Chains A and B, each alone.
Chain A
């Protein structure tokens, strides 16, 4: 599993691997928001937690089709399927690699972008924590979507349509943690729910992704 993870990370970081694209997209979204809603810092501060969560989610979505599509095209997915590693392990490693190259940079960048949107001071910690807990779920759910659409020629748009409804619970609880944190309210309940969803998704969804991928490789 470790060599596969190393390989995926190396491929992502290499030129043309798309590393940093999600981050750039996130920055652009954050830049465009004030143009759309106006520069009033009070308003921006109020919607900042939601915008940052939504931006992170969309940036995550952007790179989902890369999780499996390239390996599918050059046939290395078929090779991986015959490897002694179980399919559940393969999809988990793929999701982890996606999180390390997309989710983690977003988590680190989010507080910086929070400054641009005039995020309230107590919000920085809770925003970062909620993204840290929530983005792994986004990667794992996204891998499921990528496994569903891997064999399709124009799967990109369909992938978004399939994955976005599945993102709803994570987004609700994640943004709620960030919002309540920024307003100085108690965050225990949504934080527990967010962590619970992430853990459940990480534990269970790879089985579904693996089943789907096996069907597609048939």
Chain B
């Protein structure tokens, strides 16, 4: 029985992920294509929202991955802080830009959906606002990684920022909820359609979600490999200069 911690060895991680990545390419793009083509071409329109319901096949998976990517970064940061595995810190770094793009997709598709439905591109709906704040957290996290030269210092500082940021992100979520209900009555039509969507819409959305998850995994693996190689390159160059 091999332990999961063996993959903390960068060499082992690269070897294993090299074997997984080609399969993941096929799987992720295939699943994504099936889900989106099914959703786009072979589902009926919603009686209330018309064809805009098709936006959900992108919006819901992207929103899901926007939050899950941050959660993965949180777990990876904890592993770095507790067990000090470099691969873990680099995986957190690798996931951040992917999560940020997912947040951006969720925000933009939400705005595009809101234009015909709410009559406005942007409403300070608690959910939208929370995603905007999440986007800011991603920006800060990525900027901090980019600003620090020493790898271990950067890993330590960004990990703590990720922990503190997670607490504040949850806090902001509740604060924003409270703040908006203080201003308006509940939104007449929520973006949150999960509770009452019919199976016709739900199945292709599930497949698309699986596709997004696989794509996220693929990108994180590729980017983590890149970070490991970049770090090794810096180490070699530094050693060369010393000689």
A164 to B143, CA, bound (A): 14
Chain B minimum-CB-distance residue to A154: B147
Contacts of A155 in B (CB 8 A): 147
Mark each residue of chain B from 164 to 179: 1 if its CB lies under 8 Å from any CB of chain A, else 0: 1100100110111011
A190 to B156, CA, bound (A): 34
A sample of 9 inter-chain contacts (CB < 8 A) reads A144-B164, A152-B148, A158-B143, A165-B165, A168-B133, A168-B175, A169-B174, A208-B164, A211-B160
Q: Does B157 contact A (CB under 8 A)?
A: yes
A193 to B175, CA, bound (A): 9
Given contacts A155-B147, A168-B133, A208-B164, contact A148 B157 (CB under 8 A): yes
Are A165 and B168 touching (Cβ within 8 A)? yes
- A164's partner among B136, B161, B179, B182 (CB-CB below 8 A) is B136
Given contacts A161-B139, A216-B153, contact A166 B178 (CB under 8 A): no
Are B161 and A162 touching (Cβ within 8 A)? yes
Q: Does A151 contact B (CB under 8 A)?
A: yes
> How many interface residues does chain A have, given as a range?
20 to 34
Contacts of B179 in A (CB 8 A): 172, 176
A173 to B174, CA, bound (A): 11
**13 further A-B pairs in the complex, CB-CB below 8 A; given A158-B144, A172-B179, A212-B160:** A148-B157, A158-B140, A158-B147, A162-B161, A165-B137, A165-B140, A168-B133, A168-B168, A172-B178, A173-B175, A190-B178, A215-B153, A216-B157
Contacts of B140 in A (CB 8 A): 158, 161-162, 165
A176 to B180, CA, bound (A): 10
| Nearest CB of B to A4, in Å | 23
Contacts of B176 in A (CB 8 A): 168, 172
Mark each residue of chain B from 59 to 74: 1 if its CB lies under 8 Å from any CB of chain A, else 0: 0000000000000000
Count residues of B near A (Cβ-Cβ below 8 Å).
26
| Nearest CB of A to B55, in Å | 27
Q: Does B191 contact A (CB under 8 A)?
A: no
| Nearest CB of B to A216, in Å | 7
Given contacts A152-B148, A155-B147, contact A169 B160 (CB under 8 A): no
A197 to B168, CA, bound (A): 10
Chain A minimum-CB-distance residue to B163: A208
A197 to B144, CA, bound (A): 25
Chain B minimum-CB-distance residue to A168: B172
Contacts of B174 in A (CB 8 A): 169
Q: Does A58 contact B (CB under 8 A)?
A: no
Q: Please indicate which of the listed interface residues B137, B140, B148 has the most CB atoms of chain A within 10 Å of its own CB.
A: B140
Chain A minimum-CB-distance residue to B148: A152
- A218's partner among B139, B153, B172 (CB-CB below 8 A) is B153
Are B164 and A169 touching (Cβ within 8 A)? no
Are A162 and B171 touching (Cβ within 8 A)? no
A57 to B137, CA, bound (A): 18
A169 to B172, CA, bound (A): 5
Contacts of A176 in B (CB 8 A): 178-179, 182
Are A148 and B144 touching (Cβ within 8 A)? yes
Mark each residue of chain B from 121 to 162: 1 if its CB lies under 8 Å from any CB of chain A, else 0: 000000000000100110110011001100001001100110
A165 to B136, CA, bound (A): 6
Mark each residue of chain A from 177 to 218: 1 if its CB lies under 8 Å from any CB of chain B, else 0: 000100000000110010001000000010010011001101
| Nearest CB of A to B148, in Å | 7
Q: Please indicate which of the listed interface residues A155, A180, A211 has the most CB atoms of chain B within 10 Å of its own CB.
A: A211
Contacts of A190 in B (CB 8 A): 178, 182
Are A151 and B144 touching (Cβ within 8 A)? no
Are A161 and B143 touching (Cβ within 8 A)? yes
The 5 closest A-B pairs by CB, nearest first: A169-B175, A172-B175, A165-B136, A215-B156, A169-B171
Chain A minimum-CB-distance residue to B156: A215
Chain B minimum-CB-distance residue to A164: B136
Contacts of B143 in A (CB 8 A): 158, 161-162
